[in-house]
Each structure stands twice: as C-alpha cells, then as structure tokens.
Structure 1
C-alpha cells in the first residue's frame, strides 16, 4: 500500500463556471489528473476520488500545466483534452467504460444504450450510466458526451446547464467527420 501524498489543485474560469483540477504526480514525475469538475471547492472533487488514490490533502497552486489544455479546449480545440493523462480506479467494467468514454468523439455524443454497446455490453445500459455518474475526471473523461435514449441530456454531476454548454461548444468546434 502506498502512503497518501499531497496533491495540487488549481482553478480556472470557463464559460460554464469555475473549473478545478486536482493532480497527483506519477513515478516519472508527470502530472496525472485524479479529479476535475465545475466547482471552486476542492473538497467536492476529493470526495469522489477512489480511496486508494485519494491524497492526504491538496495544496492550492496558482497554475497547473493541464489548465493550458482546458483553455485550449474552450478556445475551440475540443480535441486538446484527448492526451491528458488521467488516473481513476474501480472494478473492471468501470475502468474499461472510462477508457471507452475517451473514444466518444467531440460533437457526436452517444446515447447511454450506444455507450453500453460500445463497451461491449449492450444490455448494461444502467451500468454504463453508472460509469458516467462515477467519473471523477470530468471533461478529460468526457461523460458529458452521453445522452438519454430519448436524446435528452440525462444527468450530469455538475448540472445539466454545464452539460448543455459543453455539448453546444463541442458541436460548434468539433472537427468534421470524415
């Protein structure tokens, strides 16, 4: 078992509201996102980090390099988030589902049913929705790209107005499908 570390966090203003990122450092000294979302209160984020990854605390810093990616995303580079390293932990289905979420293209959201099928378990629509609900790394693991079967927004930890804003932004800036 590893000793909990002290993570770092920073907040940047975005069109939907303040966005905070919590990073830890991996064995190579690289920043790894362990939580992120539309809040200025880091406690809202630390509470959703898996207990095996939860740091002993988090210190506020003025700037993190990953915030450059967030600003690039909101400037129209919606694919900028694709290369951000994220660490989450749970059971095998959730781990795989979070990886699959990262393959849902900007501007082309899935329904929960299509997302479940993309995960290789077409009957597991509730489990797919649960993967979205338990995602601690909002934006970088784009759970906002999954909609209800009726095309409605469904839920979103950070509120449906934030989800709508993200979807509209991506629709306006996503690369044209080949």
Structure 2
C-alpha cells in the first residue's frame, strides 16, 4: 500500500478571485485552482494520487509559493517562472505541461502550434485535453493557449479570468505575439 502524501494548502486573494495553492512538504507546487473549483481540484488530485492517497493540511505560504503567486499578481510576472512544480499525469500530459512553461508572459500560442512544438502535429485534440487537465494553472500557463483563429478558447477558471491573465501579462511585457518554435527551449527540470 503506497504511502499517503501530505500536501499543504493555502489561499490567496487575487484581483480575479480567491486562489487555492497546494504544495508538498518539499516546496513543490502540486495544484492551483480557484476556490469555487476546489471540488474539481480535489477530483483531479484523487485521479492522480488515489482517493485516499493524499491529505490536505492548511499552511501559510508553503515553500514561499503563496508569496511568489502574490508577486505575479502584483506585476512581477517572472516571479513564477522558476517555481518548482511536481505533477502526476501521463508522460504525454507532462510533455505538454513542460512545453506550456516555455511560453513566455505576454505571448500566446495556438493548440496546433503547441502540438507542432512537441513534435506531434496531428495531436491537436490530445494537446487540448492535456492542457485542460493541467493541475497547476497560471504557473503552467494554459491560459496562454488560444484557438488557431486567435479566439479565446476554454479555460477552467472561466473566459473572464483567461482574458484578465492575458491582459495582465500584456500590460507588463507589451503586446501579445505568437511564439515561434525556434524561440522555444525544452526545460525538463519543471515537470
């Protein structure tokens, strides 16, 4: 029987609602979601770690992660770039999530371009599903993925939050432009 993982949970008021932050005792970010979606987050954690595979213990600023998220919302976008994250998920999902971390603040990318970047140009739907299963929104910036026609497509936190996050990043770094594959480096230390 596997050991029960003990996660720490904190909450942060942001300009777009209360955020829930889940970390492990090693300071790795394990999940981020919005308070009104805490049930969804718990179901996702159960899918990855089992129904009785984890506990959530209230904590203040676990691993300094809450302060880093607060800095991001205050306009210090780079404060979350190197946050340590640890996720479960399939190898394909984790490949997509690694690629998401390479999309810089203020930039957007289409699902099709993201599929091309990971070397699977026909896996657009699978990339979309992996993007939608991302347990660490904002830090693993699924909000930066848009439709091929430039439209805002689904975001688990709602389209208003997606628009706010993109506007917040654009105001800080300039106008959004699509990142080209040559600009991307894979950084495997994150997931």
Q: Do these two structures clear the TM 0.5 threshold for a shared fold by scoring above it? A: yes
Name the structure 2 match of 1:151: 150
Aligned mates of 2:31, 2:65 — CA distance in 1 = 12
Q: Is 1:39 the counterpart of 2:38 in the alignment?
A: no
Q: Is 1:57 the counterpart of 2:52 in the alignment?
A: no
Q: If each structure's helix is expressed as a fraction of its own residues, which one has the higher value? A: 2
- RMSD, aligned α-carbons: 2.2
For residues 1-178 of structure 1, what are the structure 2 equivalents within 5 Å?
2-25=2-25, 30-39=26-35, 42-49=38-45, 51-53=47-49, 55-64=53-62, 65-174=64-173
1:107-163 Cα shifts (integer Å, max 9, x gaps): 011011111111111121111111110000111111000001111110011111111
4+ residue runs over 6 A deviation: none
Check the 8 A contact 1:11/1:40 in 2, yes or no: no
Q: TM-score, normalised by structure 2?
A: 0.83
Check the 8 A contact 1:113/1:149 in 2, yes or no: yes
Q: Secondary structure at the match of 1:138?
A: coil
Gaps of 5+ in 2: 178-191
Aligned mates of 2:132, 2:15 — CA distance in 1 = 22
